[in-house]
Structure formats: C-alpha cells, structure tokens
A and B are shown apart, each in its own frame.
Chain A
Amino acid sequence: MIVTTTKGDMDDSLLVKKEGTIDNDIELTTWVEYWLDDELVHRSAHVTLKTSPFMDLIAASMG
C-alpha cells in the first residue's frame, strides 16, 4: 500500500506502522503512524464524537 509521507509517497513495506485507540465517554479515536527509521513520516487520526453540548430550554409559567 502506498502511504503519503513527509518524504513523498512510499510503500508501507519500507515503514514501521504503529496504531492506537482511545475509547472513553467523549470519543472513539483511532490513529496510525508510519515511521522511517526513527522519524515520524505520517500520522493520521480519526475521531468519532460520542457526546456533545446539550441545551436545556425552559418555558416559564405565567401567572
């Protein structure tokens, strides 16, 4: 697979791949890194939002 990197497009067979996940109440995040020797040449992240701001509306009683 060809990966876009800071060195240009590279075949992933030449790179070391690292992946991770964050899963909590706020988000589900996955990230992938590709390293060339000791240099980070690609990092992407995918955040899925789970929670959002919530607005509570009140209609006051009259009389």
Chain B
Amino acid sequence: MANTQSMCTSFLGELLSATHNFSSSNPAHTANTADTFKAALYYTTATINAATTAYTSTGEVSGTNYTAGGVSVTNATNPTSTNSSATAGVGYWTPSASIVYSTVTISTAFDTVLLYNSTQSNKAVSVHTFGAQTITAGTFTLTMPSNTTSTALLRLSTT
C-alpha cells in the first residue's frame, strides 16, 4: 500500500459543522480556545490518504522516544482569509512552528505525517507526504511552508 498527500475528505464536511476550531478567537464556540492538533508519522507501507477519517495507530511508526499519536502542533497564529478578487479568495492556516520529534530512533522507512484534531475525537485533517526517511538517535524536523495564500499548509480557495 502507499500513502497519498491530500486533504481528508471527512474534514470537508466537518468544516461545515464547525467541528474544527483552529482559532483562539471564535464566537461560534463557547470558549475562545483553539483545538489541539497533533502530527503522527506513518511508515511507507501504511495507507493514509483522503479516505482517512481519524488518527489510527495502524501503520504508525514506533521506536525509541516516539510516542504513539505523535506530537502536538504549535498553533499561535489564527487562520487568515483574504480576497484575491471580487469573486475569489483564500482562507489559510499553517502551524506556527516546526514539528519536531527529538532524539528518536525510527528504523523502518516512513514518509507521511497525518495532521489531526486531538480535541475532537482525533478527527483527521490532512495528509502530507515526503521522501522516505529513517532516523537513528537523531531528530526529525518538519518545517512548515510560509503562511501565505499560495503556500500555507491548509488552503481553502474559491476561484
């Protein structure tokens, strides 16, 4: 099997029901507290893709100092939206810091990170793939793209 980079399809519907809160200022929720999002790593042999609806331990990496479920994502910047024309615009969000797995050993090749909402029953958000890696008594760092309309990690666009 293989992993495929994608926005999780279940995430689309959940956006319309305000299931996910990326913002620390959101009147639709009773408390102005953003949900906690986490990032889990998966082996190249896993099957994580648009059909993934929630975090799963199946296919997740294991190894020294790696905790099942992965690490929390730093979220200090609220989502942003901007118009590109009278009929088009983009809403976007990017974690505000790199995702870091420190002093881990993951001996089997992995190539995917699943972003999910640990506050909301671990519901899946998006799947991001990269070249296969192994880590030996080292640090794996995922640096985020720039938080702009064209490069942000999550982008919702009308054209």
Q: Judge whether B137 and A6 touch: CB under 8 Å.
A: yes
Q: Judge whether B141 and A55 touch: CB under 8 Å.
A: no
Query: Number of contacting residues on B, CB 8 A?
Result: 34
Query: Number of contacting residues on A, CB 8 A?
Result: 31
Consensus secondary structure, chain B interface: strand
Name which of B25-33, B70-78, B122-130 contacts chain A: B122-130
Asked if B120 CB lies within 8 Å of chain A CBs, one says: no
Known interface pairs A49-B144, A50-B145; A41-B137 also in contact (CB < 8 Å): yes
Q: List residues of chain A with CB within 8 A of the CB of B158.
A: 56-59
Q: Judge whether A52 and B145 touch: CB under 8 Å.
A: yes
Q: Judge whether B157 and A57 touch: CB under 8 Å.
A: yes
Instruction: Choose one: B136, B144, B151, B153; the contact of A40 (CB below 8 Å).
Output: B136
Q: Judge whether B103 and A4 touch: CB under 8 Å.
A: yes
Q: Judge whether B140 and A52 touch: CB under 8 Å.
A: no
Instruction: Choose one: B103, B105, B130; the contact of A27 (CB below 8 Å).
Output: B130
> How many whole Å from B122's CB to the nearest CB in chain A?
19
> How many whole Å from A22's CB to the nearest CB in chain B?
5
Q: Write the residues of chain B forming the contact surface with A, with a CB cutoff of 8 angstroms.
A: 5-7, 12, 103, 105, 126-131, 133-145, 151-159
